[in-house]
Amino acid sequence: MNLRREMKTFLRTVIGRAYPRVIGMRREKSWMLFEVLLPLLQVAAFVYIYQAIGAPPEFTGFVVLGGAMTAYWMNVLWSMASQLYWEKETGNLELYIIAPTSRMAILIGMAAGGIMTTTIRAVGVLTLGVLIFRVPMEVTDVPALVGVFLLTLVALYGLGMLLASLFLLWGRQAWHLANLLQEPVFLVSGFYFPVRALGFLVALGASIVPITLGLDAMRQLLFPQMMEGFRFLPVGTQLGALAVQAVVFLFLAHRALRYFEDRARREGRLTLRGL
């Protein structure tokens, strides 16, 4: 009976925390227009560069797919990793700590709401990019493509949950850390080109960010012929790596949240500096 009550509370917390992000999208419809059109301008810049140098049309597809996936990384950085720090600054974090529910459920709700709203932006960028630039795609394995996409999101938002605790630990440096992780990850994760172009060792190091493996695997499934000479790892290997990352990041996020919760209740402060 207690387990059933706890599960019910857990699910209600997830839904309650996801609700503001979903309903906010409906109330501010103009945001969706800007969040689709502005990223599309950046995608167009890279597309025209590839077209100007006579690159194969598949490279346009690399850019459009990468441009769509940037929405998820930005959401993880600014709406997941930085969220607990911002909640502390606005005085809400104490309410999360004393609330009779799981802190993990709060973060999962944030992730679920973020995924729903960000997916609309990503689909908009991808759809417009494909239609405007006439991207040639060849879907070779739909179940594998769906599996790669879902595992990428689980692992990526698991990383976001872990970073949320670490950003809280680092206090006022959270804003600078989010900025620091934005553009370098765009480069080393291969958002606008195959990551193998940076070399195997660099690509291996960049794989700590799940979107690196996810992007490479999705490109292999959508552009199989062109990716023959650019693939980083086989799709099956990347699926396994993403599954491992999802479990590891979620476990570490849970441990980090427990650590901060115990310390907050024991010491009455939420960061090592007491900020």
Give the three-class secondary structure for 139.
coil
**Inter-residue contact 238 to 147 (CB < 8 Å):** no
Residues 6 or more apart whose CB falls under 8 angstroms from that of 111 comprise 80, 157, 160, 161
Whole-structure pTM value = 0.87
Average pLDDT over residues 2-14: 84
- Residue that is written with structure tokens 């590839």 in the block: 50
- What digits encode the pLDDT tens for the residues 79-101? 887 877 777 777 777 778 777 88
Query: Where is pLDDT greater, at 21 or 196?
Result: 196
Residues 6 or more apart whose CB falls under 8 angstroms from that of 28 comprise none
Query: What is the predicted pLDDT for the residue at 1?
Result: 53
Rounded (10°) angle between helices 142-170 and 235-267: 30
Query: What is the predicted pLDDT for the residue at 271?
Result: 53
**Inter-residue contact 210 to 159 (CB < 8 Å):** yes
Our CA angle for 54, 60, 63, nearest 5°, is: 130
Q: State the amino acid at position 136 in one-letter form.
A: P
Which segments of 137-267 does DSSP mark as H helices, in order? 142-170, 174-180, 183-188, 200-206, 210-222, 235-267
- What digits encode the pLDDT tens for the residues 127-181? 888 888 888 888 878 899 999 999 999 999 999 888 888 777 776 676 777 778 8
In this structure, what token pair is assigned to residue 81? 């990793």
Q: State the amino acid at position 74 in one-letter form.
A: M
Residues 6 or more apart whose CB falls under 8 angstroms from that of 77 comprise 160, 163, 178, 181, 182
Residues 6 or more apart whose CB falls under 8 angstroms from that of 109 comprise 13, 14, 15, 16, 17, 18
Q: Encode burial over 156-177: b for 16+ CB neighbours within 10 A, e otherwise.
A: bbbbbbbbbbbbbbbeeebeeb
- Strand segments, DSSP code E, in 9-160 are none
